[in-house]
Structure 1
Amino acid sequence: MGVQSVDRTVEVLEALAAKGGTSVNSIAAQLGVHKSTASRILSSLAEHGLVEKDALTGSYRLGFGLVRLASAVTSRMDLSQIAQKLCDDVSAELGLTANVAVLDEIYAVNVSQAMGPGLLAPRHYVGLRTPGHATSSGKMLLAHHPRAAEAAMHSTLEPHTDRTITDPQALAAELERVRERGWAGSDEEWEQHITAVAVPLRLPDGAVEAALTVTGPAHSLQPDRFSDVAHRLREFAAGSSRWV
């Protein structure tokens, strides 16, 4: 579909939103096109439930298919808002930098962040694409998304420190351990002197939607604390209004 067709489709939707409902002739006049062109656009939108035709008057109005699309945006907004509150609560109690990340191909992308009292974040993480094989959030997300894990193991596993996992078989074994114990750790694998631990954020159907991570200086978040910290993170996650 050409750009002009997309523009015309958007104009149709905006016209219906403004008028509540209108005829093919009116749409054609507004777009400056032949009636048949307007009719084709409306018919295509109707097939997808984005507009509806009144059987009595023949006029068109917006359809409930738009509600379905809008709900997806609302869901993402809900995720961001709830994730930020979760990060704020976790960071305030544990005194560490907290992040929520989602999967993007073979990477983890942070959508929310909060820093612990008196801490300076090693990086500003929000919007940052972090390597799945080297971060706790990335490992957690890869462990629960088999296709992404397979893609990661067939990619070049770049070393970020001398502790980064760069062997595909070693990564596969690490992801299996993540699934078994329910948390993922990064022991100076992405940044020197920085450690992190992550737990899954599960929807009620069991799907892992995101990962909750705390990050800190190695002296403040030592690997022997990972399991205990992960247990506390799971308690925070279970107390949210979105994840179980």
Structure 2
Amino acid sequence: MSNSASAARAEGSTVQSVDRAVTVLEILARDGEAGVTGLAAELGVHKSTAFRLVAALEARNLVEQNVDRGKYRLGLGILRLAGATAARLDVVQESRPVCRKLAAETGETINITVPSDGAALYVDQVAGSSAVQTHNWVGQRIPMHATSNGKVLLAFGPPELLVGLELPAFTEHTITRRDRLDDELAAIRAEGHGVAVDELEIGLTAIAAPIRNPDGVAVASLSASGPSFRLTAARLAEIAPLVRDAADEVARRLGWHAHVA
């Protein structure tokens, strides 16, 4: 058998396993709980296959076993995933009118990001009037240390975001030393916003502010970005309070008042 044929079979087997695992979750969501025998019958597989599926899901806390009954039910990991999705949808929904207003005021592109797997995940974007052929960042994960959004999330987010953080260089202006990053994060906390000039891409500048929960922890960030020739130091100083106010307004719309003066 050729290597390509073997790879195709392996890929097909993987897809089938994923489909079966999702079906297990759907069955448990429908019935509340089920045993391996019942799952195997509904899936049309051997009990050993069903057991391997629930074992893999259990390892991820997506299912858990009722010790008394020996059956499986949805685990707390499902709530975590659902909560994360709901939180992102809420941020996007509540930030959209604020981002549109800020884009109109500044003429720049406005982005919303949330932390995701050690990166800043772009979940929404509104182009300003000055934007020409705007790059669509939505759905992309961007290194935290090289972007204004990411640095704001590091400065105001939970401490674990900094654990094991790698600092690869993207341009000659990228921060690659931890002591320099720590100094910059301290300055961001003092000023209430972060800036990145030519750090991810030459010619790209952005300024961001945190969207904080009632405990003051950033759960998202809001940024204005544009070409470096337009977003000069003087221009950044002009729009900094607008960006901070917009981020605080999103927090208010989400019902997070505690950190807002």
TM-score over 0.5 (shorter chain): yes
- What is the total number of aligned residue pairs between the two structures? 231
Structure 1 residues 7, 201: closer, same or farther in 2, change over 3 A? Answer: same
**1:114 aligned to 126, 134, 137, which one?**
126
Percent of matched pairs sharing the same residue:
35
1:147 aligns with: 160
1:63 shift after superposition: 8.0
Deviation at 1:230, TM superposition (A): 2.3
For residues 1-244 of structure 1, what are the structure 2 equivalents within 5 Å?
11=23, 14-15=26-27, 30=42, 68=79, 70-121=82-133, 123-144=135-156, 145-152=158-165, 155-160=166-171, 162-240=172-250, 241-242=253-254, 243-244=256-257
CA distance in 2, matches of 1:208, 1:146: 11
Q: Give, in angstroms, the shift of residue 12 of structure 1.
A: 5.8
Cα distance in 1, alignment partners of residues 243 and 39 from structure 2: 54
1:239 alignment partner, SS class? helix
Residues 192 and 244, structure 2, Cα contact 8 Å, conserved in 1: no
TM-score by length of 1: 0.70
Q: Deviations over 1:73-126 (max 9, x none)?
A: 323322233344433232122110111112234432211111101412553211
Tell me, which stretches of 5 or more residues in structure 2 are unaligned? 1-13
Q: Which has the larger radius of gyration?
A: 1
User: Cα distance, 1:201 vs. partner?
Assistant: 0.7
Contact 2:99/2:246 (8 A) holds in 1:
no
Task: State the superposition RMSD in angstroms.
Answer: 4.1
Indicate conservation of the 8 Å contact 1:140/1:198, yes or no.
yes
Q: TM-score, normalised by structure 2?
A: 0.66
Question: What is the CA distance between 1:215 and its match in structure 2?
Answer: 0.6
